Structure 1
Amino acid sequence: MFHSKPNHAVSGAPRLDPETWVPASQIAPVVRNKTPRPLRLWGTRIFGALALATVACSAQQQSAPADPQPPLPKGKVLFERHEPAAAPDPDPAQTVPTPETATPQPTGKPGVSSSNRNRRTLKRRTDAPDETAAPAPPAVVTEAPAETVSSSSPQAEEIVVTAADLAASAKVTAAERTAPQIVSTSLDLHLNSHTVAVETRAQLVVRNTGTTAMTRLPLRVSGALHWESARAGNTPLALEQHHIADDLDHTGVGTELLLTLPDLVAPGATVALDLYYGGTINASTGRLTAMGAPEGRAALTDWDTVTDTFTGLRGMGDVLWYPVTAPAALLRNGEAVPQAVAAARLADAASSFRLDLTLEYTGNRPEAAFFCGQRAVLNRLSGASPDPTEMGVVTASWNRKILGPHTPSLFIGQGEPHTAANGLLRVVTDRADTVAALGEAATRLRPMMSEWLGAAPLSSIDVLDLPIPGAAGFSDGTLLVAHLGTAPAAALAATLVQPVAAAWMPPNLEAAWLREGIPTFLQTVWTERSQGRAVALRGLAANAAGLQAQAAPVAEPVSSSSQDAFTTQAVPALAACADPACARDRAAYVFEMLRGMLGDGGLQQAISGWRQRLAPSNGQGQAADATSLHASATETKDMEEMLQQVAGKRDLGWFFRSWIDTGHTLPDLSIVTIAPRRVERNAPIDYLPARKAVGGPIGAEPVPQVGDPTYEAERKPITPGDRIAPAIGSWLVAVEVQNAGDADAEVPVTVRAGDLMNTLPLRVPAHGRATIRVPFEADPQEVVVNDGSVPELRATTHRRTITSLPAQH
């Protein structure tokens, strides 16, 4: 994983500059053989040139050089660089000018940063001038009172966006920021968990997705990091970097690099880049406190950090520890940040990502690391200290041919994992009682998962104890990072539903509505089983607000002659959307509606059959192919085919068109008329009314036509045990419902009297009406249309009290 030139071998090694990065694997035997006790490879004052020369001369029985080089500063990683790293400028307030320091250094040197890297001061950050969603403040940087600037880490300091940064950022056009797309990433990441130092080599392949040739290319990392050198092939590139307001990083600032390319990159063509960047990563609450959030609350949300006891980097939307090309986004612009993250995840799903991690730790040796939720054991570097409780260097590598539906994240677990639930769970924590409770919770969930998704899981679940009480948890596939308290198993089961479901799901699903929607739906199923249907429906209703806001009317006239002053904004098709409110919440409603149409058994058969088709088991409970990325359209088509197969003769095409395949706003239902009618004593009835919805105005009870296959197939003969069969003196309650929305909806219509109720489904077409007649065996008192299982543009439940009944004739 280390990159070096062939002539940098230990034997006969040339004299190296102290800042030149050489393979640590070549230095390790040197340190081990020439010292009586183990030395740290990185973060220790190793005399690079002297150590190499001493060993080389000893092997050849020669004398050592007489002029040792200065020691490497603590925290430096040893591997090859393009050029010596630019040293930070001294703080003018604490440095006395000397002839050396007074001499201005050249700027704009190819491959060397020309940006000002003075010590950061505490100032308010300023938004970029190119934001259009809200007016930007004046480009004036003023000192902020010390008490108004806070941080969750003593080392963290708010990063400055100066007037010069604003001017430089304004010169980068929107087209230049949207045209590049990274299609291949290879990171050689060197991390010091004690000093929080980060040194990274990034090899990227960037494609021009624009319509014109690309001459300049912007890239961005966290504002706490800085770019050090860049090449395109063998051509060094001058660095132009500046800070830009960006809430995709927890500091609220990004460091944007603008590269002038040596050759034009035509539309669709690619360019290979070799870059170095570094800095430190501390916990930061800068973006939230800048918006007025309390320091303590902000620290529970933005907890990404690097420490000896816990390292967690969640990626874009939390911390930009890897290069990105996506345009900046600000929290003050509504859903801009989550939408930018969702768009980047969708665009990068087919890209490749290789990560080579080298970690220097102090204290207990970490056991494993997780990249995009994928676990890899950390191996001790050859020649490092054998004492696992003091300090050392460990490495791990991941090579994802496709990134899949992930935002690149990195977590490092401390200590050996505890297994639970027959190996289903691997828990990294020092709380034995919590491990037992988690195991019991997962065991409780297993029967439900087997019913809905198949007999056995396809992978194990990793749980990391987040050492921040009250902090917001994080999950990525089968990885769960959360503060593990002392909750009982019953409470923990609800937390584990989504990661346990992910262990049963096919890997690398591209269709977000299936990847996010099925676990969210199963969360509702579990809530219904453990707390009742009313609580489960309230949980669904809590997510309806986002869907309603997405489809809310906008103040734009449809036409000058229209009486309707507003129109509804279009929503994306569920099969293609990536926004969480669309992919997760709307999909959960879709499966709940399908459950009402097919029943639990039918929907279970469809979902488990779809899962088996996409991820056939190898016979040992593992997916046969865990690395392939299915096309979103294929995944959706397979699910629809399985649903229609289970439904049989009942056509579900209307449902797929209204809720999955095309973009529609939500239905907008209302009760038009309720007409109870007593069944006459001299009118014998030998059948229940057809479940088929009857459109049009309320009229006489329809008479079955001989030879009508649809009606004959849907009518149901009375059986002795049929509770809702009309008896002499019972009622038929006709309910007419109107739908002013764009999507067809099948909703439950319930007639009740006290504890007695009868419910039948009614399909109401978009911009139309439908009528159903519900048989009832007592005097009806209330009609309820939609119990909350179907999302609507406004209310999701409609009630009408029956105040008077017609007299018996």
Structure 2
Amino acid sequence: MRNWKFFAAAVLCGVCYTAIGQQQSSAPPPSPEQSQQPGPPKPSNPNAKILFSRSDDDATEQKADAAKPAADTPPAKVTDQQRAAVTYTAYDLDIHLAPQQHTISVRARIALRNDGDHPLPVIPLQLTSALNFEDVILNGKRLKFGQQIINSDVDHTGQLREAVVELQEPLAPKAELKLDVVYSGTIEANARRLEQLGTPADLAARSDWDEISADFVGLRGFGNVLWYPVSSVPALFGDGAKVFSEIAAQKSRQSSATIRMRVSAEFFDIPPTVAVLDGQVMRIAKPTAMPTEGFPGVVTSELGPIPLGFNLPTLFLSTGTPREGNGLSIYPRSEDQANTQGYMTAATMVQPLLQQWLVAKPKSDLTIIDLPEAEDAPFEQGSALFTSLAADPPEKIAPQLAHALAHVYFQSQREWLNEGVANFLGTLWTEQTHDRDLALESLENSRGALTFAEPATPGAGPGQDLLHASDVVYYRTKATYVLWMLRDIVGDNALAAALQAYDPEADTTPEYFEHLVERPSGINPAGDLKWFFDNWVYQDRGLPDLSIAAVYPSPAAQSGEYLVGIDILNDGFTETEVPVTVRSKKGTLTERVRLPGKTRTAHRMLVQGTPLEVIVNDGTVPEVQATIHSHMLGDQSSQ
């Protein structure tokens, strides 16, 4: 079961992870000032400009009093409690990339807070094991720190480099400080963690494609490649869902942080034409410096400061000329130019569904960036989709675009709505192009992971209400179920009207979306849907556990009619509403029945003709076990 959960969660997250068992430390790569550039020794250059300065004069007036820590300084002791206590409140990143050398150099100004109960004598800072810490400065003084390699599967190498920074005075609970952190190194594609789990090399490479290269820079952040400082508890696959829980914890803890990035990137051939920083798409109009003999050209891009929100800091650069149309801006590789037409056609196919349920026009174009290798695992953030442009027919591309385009038609700072609505629209596309049963089958495929995550008893496990959910199984899977249930309760028109009226700036109270759904449906806005939101959104009471306890058919007063009594048991704590269907020789009748938690509910239905079967739930309500319950009346057998 534990292994099953890992694979289910990996599918839900759209990315695979693995571990590496070795512990080894490599020497820090040279900084850009030390690395050799092609060509003769550096002369004066009319195109030259300062890209990234780490002069000691910038660091401190007391630099003579604080020696730079040696690379082999033994680290002070640090505990997981201390790692978990550090919360980052601001990132200010000066980033210099040399893609031909696969290198990155960063001066990070970070603000952090002690959210633990005890003073912190040390601050643990972590990066991918491919990078090396060079300096940590507080108030103009270099701090002493040691470095160590720790095993953790939140990075594609399966290891993190940790600097344990010693403070002159412990950081009190709820106190904050600001550090300047300088680091650099080489980031290349690395799939060792998956390969060491036995994953075939080609499949592993499709998942762990993060790298810095001349044609593409893709750094997805914590959980893929840790290119910016964090403090986290080491997590390994095989230890339940600890890796995914730690990714969720990082998102949650840093959701109130701000981020600013200033990126400069060297190039010798084709300059990058687009940057995507923390999900924000920014075209690069022209290089700030062109390459000359022996010297690279330079492109720059800048973001923020902006709220980090539920995103992880990401950095992408890509070359290529965009092809635009049908609400898309596509940056294909040269060999995939012909494949862009299929995506344009697919966008045209799904737009009517998006306009029916959301708004008439998207808030921006969807940017699609071609990944370096065919079959690389897709990734999306904000208004950007990263995927290998396949030569597939539009009908096969459309489901992916229905989800991705929904993000540019509908946006919310509440992740359960932001991601839940996009996933909901993807299932509606399946229903429209195939049938309802296939759409519900797609929900059923993800229910197992939700069942495993939900607590059996409220408060007995780490359940998450949707307002504060940080685990993908809640804010995507459970949120999609919630929207399907709302659709069946209030109807398509009412739910569509609520989604169309949604204003993210007005969503300042927990009840905002509830009131939007109530208003167009004609339900009393004083709280007729409060029972539903209390059970499924505002609190996490687990999942219902339904069964057909008994069925009592009997002839009614009028000839040919039958009164069917149905006793339905809900052994779960969550109140829900389900469709109850009686199939008879003369037709089918369906009624909706509300089932409080921990109760046995009696319901009566009058049907025409001899009753043959009773069906409770149709797959729209997630349950602990089965989601469709059938009782055949002929032989009294039940399922």
Q: Secondary structure at the match of 1:516?
A: helix
Q: Secondary structure at the match of 2:101?
A: coil
Q: CA deviation at 1:373?
A: 1.6
Aligned positions of 1:792-803 closer than 5 A = 792-803=623-634
CA RMSD of aligned residues (A): 2.9
- Contact kept, 8 Å, 2:466 with 2:474, in 1: the verdict is yes
Q: CA deviation at 1:730?
A: 2.4
- Contact kept, 8 Å, 1:113 with 1:227, in 2: the verdict is no
Structure 2 counterpart of 1:666: 543
Aligned positions of 1:175-190 closer than 5 A = 175-190=81-96
Aligned positions of 1:246-645 closer than 5 A = 246-378=152-284, 380-385=286-291, 392-421=297-326, 423-430=327-334, 431-506=336-411, 509-551=412-454, 553=456, 569=461, 571-609=463-501, 611=502, 613-614=503-504, 634=509, 636-645=510-519
- Contact kept, 8 Å, 2:560 with 2:610, in 1: the verdict is no
Q: CA deviation at 1:230?
A: 1.8
Q: Deviations over 1:686-718 (max 9, x none)?
A: xxxxxxxxxxxxxxxxxxxxxxxxxxxxxxxxx
Q: CA deviation at 1:227?
A: 0.6
Aligned mates of 1:187, 1:745 — CA distance in 2: 48
Q: Secondary structure at the match of 1:416?
A: coil
Distance of aligned partners of 1:464 and 1:489 in 2 relative to their CA distance in 1, 3 Å threshold: same
Structure 2 counterpart of 1:787: 618
Structure 2 counterpart of 1:236: 142
Aligned mates of 2:514, 2:554 — CA distance in 1: 40
Q: TM-score, normalised by structure 2?
A: 0.87
Distance of aligned partners of 1:21 and 1:445 in 2 relative to their CA distance in 1, 3 Å threshold: closer
Q: Which 5+ residue runs of structure 2 have no aligned equivalent?
A: 1-29, 60-64
Q: Deviations over 1:710-766 (max 9, x none)?
A: xxxxxxxxxxxxxxxxxx412232221110000011111111247932211111110
Aligned positions of 1:51-66 closer than 5 A = 51=44
- Contact kept, 8 Å, 1:349 with 1:510, in 2: the verdict is no
Distance of aligned partners of 1:482 and 1:383 in 2 relative to their CA distance in 1, 3 Å threshold: closer
Distance of aligned partners of 1:80 and 1:738 in 2 relative to their CA distance in 1, 3 Å threshold: same
Q: CA deviation at 1:241?
A: 0.8
Give the strand-richer structure, 1 or 2.
2
Q: Secondary structure at the match of 1:315?
A: coil
Identity %: 31
Q: CA deviation at 1:654?
A: 1.2
Larger RCO, structure (CA 8 Å, separation 6 or more): 2
Q: CA deviation at 1:392?
A: 2.2
Distance of aligned partners of 1:645 and 1:512 in 2 relative to their CA distance in 1, 3 Å threshold: same
Q: Given residue 793 of structure 1, which amino acid in structure 2 is its aligned partner?
A: V
Q: CA deviation at 1:547?
A: 1.2
Q: CA deviation at 1:391?
A: 5.4
Q: Secondary structure at the match of 2:273?
A: strand
Structure 2 counterpart of 1:693: none
Aligned mates of 2:620, 2:466 — CA distance in 1: 17
Structure 2 counterpart of 1:33: none
Q: Given residue 114 of structure 1, which amino acid in structure 2 is its aligned partner?
A: A
Q: Given residue 79 of structure 1, which amino acid in structure 2 is its aligned partner?
A: S
Aligned mates of 2:56, 2:86 — CA distance in 1: 24
Q: Given residue 490 of structure 2, which amino acid in structure 1 is its aligned partner?
A: L
- Contact kept, 8 Å, 1:43 with 1:77, in 2: the verdict is no
Q: Given residue 381 of structure 2, which amino acid in structure 1 is its aligned partner?
A: D
Q: Does 1:676 align with 2:553?
A: yes
**Greater Cα radius of gyration, structure 1 or 2:** 1
Aligned mates of 1:114, 1:386 — CA distance in 2: 36
Q: Given residue 499 of structure 2, which amino acid in structure 1 is its aligned partner?
A: I
Aligned mates of 2:456, 2:467 — CA distance in 1: 23
Q: TM-score, normalised by structure 1?
A: 0.69
Structure 2 counterpart of 1:157: none
Match of 2:570 among 736, 739, 745: 739
Aligned mates of 2:548, 2:268 — CA distance in 1: 68
Structure 2 counterpart of 1:43: 37
Structure 2 counterpart of 1:79: 53
Q: CA deviation at 1:381?
A: 4.8
Q: Which 5+ residue runs of structure 1 have no aligned equivalent?
A: 1-18, 23-40, 56-75, 86-107, 117-163, 559-566, 617-629, 682-727
Aligned mates of 1:449, 1:499 — CA distance in 2: 11
Q: Secondary structure at the match of 2:256?
A: coil
- Contact kept, 8 Å, 2:268 with 2:291, in 1: the verdict is no
Q: Deviations over 1:503-531 (max 9, x none)?
A: 0123xx33221111111111111110011
Structure 1 counterpart of 2:532: 655
Aligned mates of 1:336, 1:77 — CA distance in 2: 40
- Contact kept, 8 Å, 1:304 with 1:318, in 2: the verdict is yes
Match of 2:72 among 101, 115, 122: 115
Aligned mates of 1:488, 1:44 — CA distance in 2: 45
Q: Deviations over 1:664-706 (max 9, x none)?
A: 011000001112222223xxxxxxxxxxxxxxxxxxxxxxxxx
Q: CA deviation at 1:309?
A: 2.0
Aligned mates of 1:539, 1:20 — CA distance in 2: 49
Aligned mates of 2:586, 2:133 — CA distance in 1: 70
Q: Given residue 499 of structure 1, which amino acid in structure 2 is its aligned partner?
A: A
